Each structure stands twice: as structure tokens, then as C-alpha cells.
Amino acid sequence: MADTLSALRSLMASHSPPLDALVVPSEDYHQSEYVSARDKRREFVSGFTGSAGLALVTKNEARLWTDGRYFLQAAQELSDQWQLMRMGEDPAVDIWMADNLPRDSAIGIDPWCVSIDTAQKWELAFSKKHHKLVQTSTNLVDEVWKNQPPAEINPVIVHPLEYAGRSVADKLKDLRERLIQENARGIIISALDEVAWLYNIRGSDVSYSPVVHAFAIVTSNSAFFYVDKRKVSSEVNTYLEENGIEVRDYKSVSSDVALLASNQLKPSFKGTEITGNGTNKAEDKNDNLIWADPGSCCYALYSKLNPEKVILQQSPLALAKALKNPIELEGLKKAHIRDGAAVVQYLVWLDKQAQEIYGASGFFSEGEGTDKKKHSKTAKLTEVTASDKLEGFRASKENFRGLSFPTISSVGPNAAIIHYSPQAETCAEFDPDSIYLFDSGAQYLDGTTDITRTVHFGKPSAHEKACYTAVLKGHIALGNARFPNGTNGHALDILARVPLWKSGLDYRHGTGHGIGSYLNVHEGPHLISFRPHARNVPLQASMTVTDEPGYYEDGNFGIRLENVLIINEADTKFNFGDKGYLQFEHITWAPYQRKLIDLSLLAPEELEWLNTYHSKCRDILAPYVDESEKAWLRKATEPISA
């Protein structure tokens, strides 16, 4: 790490102009949350492995900014050469640079890895101190990363209509109508899941996310797909051409954006002609606007455009993708049933292991701790061997294509690390006298899943039960909410926190995110969160969203409960303001652990909800498990009386 920093500082000093600071963000050229191995530059430089963060290297300092999910993890992973900056508590990176770097400092960025939004925000903050943002012509980290993984060549796959639910022609027609409305003649699409969704293609360029490293440009009469052509088979090429999409080399997006800016970007083949409906109205009116999403389009491409002729607003595909069509919704429901069966099979197996290897009282019984004499000296269970078993249960299910994120399999104190990722060499051994939290999900052809359950195979303390019950109460309160159209996730976030707040407890992460249809496990543009940007997009019918409150006690334990919900129209007695009302439908199925619940803290209606949910769980999952698993499921979902 020391060698890396000194090599970077040497490059910074010899750069023209010399750089006073270098920003190393987490993102790739598409501003992705999850990136491929070769794009993990921030991880390489800092040693911090979390998915979110930003490294700053100055002449004599190295600082890393990350959010509340990762405070504990970053503190453990960073060497003493690095200083941890806690987002929300310490000054933001742009403010810190403006306040701490000498006047007239040059701050280096790779413009491909920084969004338009971020670059413009920084430029504004820097102007007060005459700092300047310097776009480096190469990525300096790549120059010092001697064993940087190569770019993978993985095939582009067509996502069949039976799962996608809408044709490419339909999606392009809707997009072009939006371009006309905004007086735009073209749009640059950078977000990998938007490219995949629009063209009904998938890939495996990023672990856990079935996407392809690609850009798209769509104009009123043409569509382009920028990708390493070695990934495109002749069959896929034919499919794209039949849909009026021209395949071009990944690197040519830069020169093509310049051509787009000067209205010289033309298809080289006669694709599907776009006629009728006044589709060419935008060109007829000589409207020269180009649409670029400031959050996902990189500064390098924006620099090719005339800033006065750019529409800087969220891509219309973000919302279109979030509003699931009926086939996607049906697929998600089916995927979650198979996934729930895998989780139940895992819990049955885990219960048996806890009892057989460790002499634990098990999932149902509240014995006085483990029978140490019964502890097997030969067999043992770790966070990793347990999560591997869970992956095995999922892998046996129809349409399974891999995990949707690295499984969080965490025992005791590790469960307090919100995005803990166990490693085989360092992970903890299973401990039935401690809480065990597992947050996991899978990619199936018909949907993406994400579920969290927290369990205890020994005797939980009264405090652990009270905390678990507060989290459960918040989980139920949010899931049962009814709210008028136009309500955003910022307004609902409090529902999941109030039961925790009553005891002076809270959690540092958002409460819900959208989820893809065989796409990214975290999907916007909506979310349920205390963060201000949760106000930007109202929740709408046919969106998916998670419901995942938690509580984390550093050094002791962590609790989280998570289901995926679909937003539906609600049939209310009245309809104040003629707005129409919405409600949630749970599509995740797995029992909550009875012995972690302090029933004295549950209201009658909460108990009724729990019993109803468990009854559905039993009926829905029974056909997917064997007789012994069915017996366990029956016991886990027995009606609870106060």
C-alpha cells in the first residue's frame, strides 16, 4: 500500500500540471455501484473493499470517505496511512478539499469515472479557492496497478421476451416519444442496467449483475450499441440489427458523442426505418438538444457536448425500468417463491447443524445455551461454509443464474458490520450462542431476489429480543402502510424507525431500494430513506421496493429483516383529493423466528399480521420442499397467540 501511494504521488508530481490531489472514486465509466475486478481502483489503492467510497490522495495525506453502512468495516480494513472520513459526520470531500488544499491547487480526476453532477458540484466548491479540476488523459491508478485484472470478454445474451415482457421496438418507441417531448434529437445512455433493459440483452461483465459493459446512443431515427465486438455473436448481431440497433466498438462512443453534438452521427446501415407518428418532429424543428443523465453520464462524454444544448436530467429509462410490466411482476413473484424455498431449506439445514455439531437448543427451543460436551471436535461451521450451502440450495432452483450480491453471512459482532462480507481465511466460526444474520439474494432469469433474516439457535437475551421485536414492528408498520399517490420514500421512512426510536435506537442505512427484473439488485430512481434524494421520485404502482429496517450494536450483534414488496393500487373506502391510494404486497416468503420475538411488545394487529404472513408462507412454500422440510416449516409458521 505504501508503495502504491508513493508511486501515485510520483506520477502526480510529474503530471502536467503537477497535481496537488488525486481523486480515486469507486465508480467505473458508467458510474456503476458494483464494478468489475479491473475497475476496483479505489479498493486497490486503499485496501477498503466496500462497494461505496471515495479515496483522496494528496502530497502527504490519504483519506477515504464512505457512508454509515461501512464505518466499522473501513476502520478495520484501512491501514494507518489512511484516515477514515465518515459521510454525514465529517466534511464532504469537495468541502474538505476547498478548505484544506492550498490556493490554486490542481485536483486530478479521470473524467470517465466521475459523473457530470459530481464534477460540476466540485467545480463550484473549488472556484472559491481558485482550485481547478484537471482531467487526466490516462487513469493514474491504472499506471501503477501492475497486476490489474484484464478486461473480460463475456458474451452478450439476448433476454427473451417471455421474461422481458416488452419488445425493444416498444421501448424505443416510448423513448423516442420522450425525446420529442423534451425537444431532444438524441440521448446518451451510460447506466449499464439501462442499456441492458432497453435492448433486452444481458451479460456477465460485472459480478452479481447480469450486465454488459456498453453505452447506447438513441436518436429520433437511429440506435447504437457501443461494446467490445468480440462479445457479440453473429446471432446477437442479427437480433440487434433486426431491431434497428447498430453495433459499434466500445471506444468509439467518445468520437460518436462528438459527432452527435455536431449533428453528424449517422447509422452506417439501413436499420429499421422510423416513420409515422411525427417521430422526426424533433429534427424538423431543428431542435439540437442532447439528453445526458448527470448522475450516470461521465464528465468525459459531457466534455464533447455543447453545454448550452444539453438536457441535464435523469434518464427517462430509470423510471420506465422501475415500473415493472405484468410479465416482470409475475416473474419476480415466481422467483421469490423458489428463493423462499431455498431459504427455508437452508434454515432447516442450519438448525440441524447447530444441534448436531454444537449441541445447540435449535431454532425452536430456548435451552440454556449449548451443550459444550456435545460440540463435535471434527466438524465445524463457518460464516463462509454456511453461505456456500445457501448458494447450493439456490443453485438447485429453476432459472438460477448466480447470486445478486455477495452473501452477508455474519455471526455475533460481525452482524453489526452492515455490509460484512466474510472471507474464508478470516471469517468467524458459527456460534449458536450468538445472533446470526444472513442477507442474500439470487439472479434468476425471471427475477432478482434480496432477503434478510436474523436468527438465534441458543438462548437470546431479553435485550436482543427487544431489539429484534422493535425491528420487526418497524418492518410490519412500513409493509402495512397505505398512502396517497405522489408520496415519496422519504415520507415513509419514519414508519420503520418509530418503534426503534421509542427506545432511543436507530440504524444508519436507508430502509428500501428498488430491485431489478434479472438486473441490478439495487435499482432506482425511487428509494425509501431519510436521505434527501428519496424525495425526488414518488412511489408508484408496479414498482418494487425492499422493506429492511435494522439495528446494529458494535461489537455485539446486528439485526435486519428484509422482504421485497410490490407497490399496488389500494382499494380504500374514501379517496381524499381524488389522488388514488397505494399499498404494498409482500412477495418474499420465509418465516420470522418466534423465539426472538418479545410478544409483550407486539400489538394485536401486528400479531395478526405475523400469523397471516406465516400462514401464506406455509401454503406457498410447501409444494417446493420435501416432507421433513415441510414439517419444520409447519412448526416455524404455527399460529402464535399472545
Give Cα separations from 591 to 358, 394, 546 (angstroms).
Answer: 23, 17, 17
Q: Quick one: cell of 130? A: 481558485
Q: What's this model's pTM, rounded to 2 decimal places? A: 0.94
Distance between CA atoms of 473 and 601, rounded to whole angstroms?
A: 9
Phi, psi of 572 (to 5 degrees): -100, 155
Q: Give dist(CA 595, CA 380) in Å, integer.
A: 24
At position 518, the amino acid (one-letter code) is: Y
Q: Are the CB atoms for 418 and 509 separated by under 8 Å?
A: yes
Distance of alpha carbon 580 from alpha carbon 157, whole angstroms = 40
Q: Cα–Cα distance between 504 and 302 in angstroms, integer? A: 46
Give the Cα separation of 628 and 352 in Å (integer). 12
- pLDDT for the residue 283: 42
Q: How many angstroms separate the CA atoms of 490 and 497, rounded?
A: 12
pLDDT tens-digit series, residues 530-581? 999 999 999 999 999 999 999 999 999 999 999 999 999 999 999 999 999 9
Other CB atoms within a 10 A radius of the CB of residue 470 amount to 23
Q: How far apart are CA 464 and CA 558, in angstroms?
A: 9
The closest of 442, 458, 211, 262 to 359, measured between CA atoms, is 458
Residue labelled with grid coordinates 410490519: 476
pLDDT at 370: 57
Length of the chain, in residues: 642
User: What pLDDT does 288 receive?
Assistant: 83
pLDDT at 275: 42
Cα separation, 239 vs 229, in Å, equals 14
pLDDT of 132 reads 93
β-partners of residue 223 are 218, 245
Amino acid at 489: G
Contact 542, 165 (CB under 8 A): no
Say what the pLDDT of residue 184 is: 96
On the 0-12 / 13-18 / 19+ scale of CB atoms within 10 A, 130 is exposed
**In this structure, is the dihedral angle defined by the CA atoms of residues 596, 602, 605 and 607, taken in order, positive or negative?**
positive
Low-confidence ranges of the chain (pLDDT < 70): 1-2, 270-287, 368-377
- Contact by Cβ (8 Å): 363, 455: yes
Amino acid of residue 153: I
> Could you give the C-alpha distances from 38 to 1, 44, 89, 115, 501, in angstroms and in order?
17, 10, 31, 19, 42
332, 324 in Cβ contact below 8 A? yes
- pLDDT number for residue 369: 55
Output b/e per residue, 285-300; b: 16+ Cβ within 10 A: eebbbbbbbbbbbbbb
Instruction: Report whether 342 contacts 394 (CB < 8 A).
Output: yes
* pLDDT for the residue 379: 84
Nearest in space to 325 (alpha carbons), one of 142, 96, 542, 73:
542
Q: What does 375-420 look like in DSSP terms, one character per residue?
A: --SS---BHHHHHHHHHHHHHTSTTEEEESS--EEEEGGGGGSTT-
Residue 349, number of CB atoms within 10 A of its CB: 17
pLDDT at position 277: 41
What is the per-residue pLDDT for 280? 45
Cell of 636: 416455524
> Could you tell me if 437 and 408 are in contact, meaning their C-beta atoms sit under 8 angstroms apart?
yes
My answer on whether omega of the bond before 25 falls inside 30° of 0, hence cis, is no
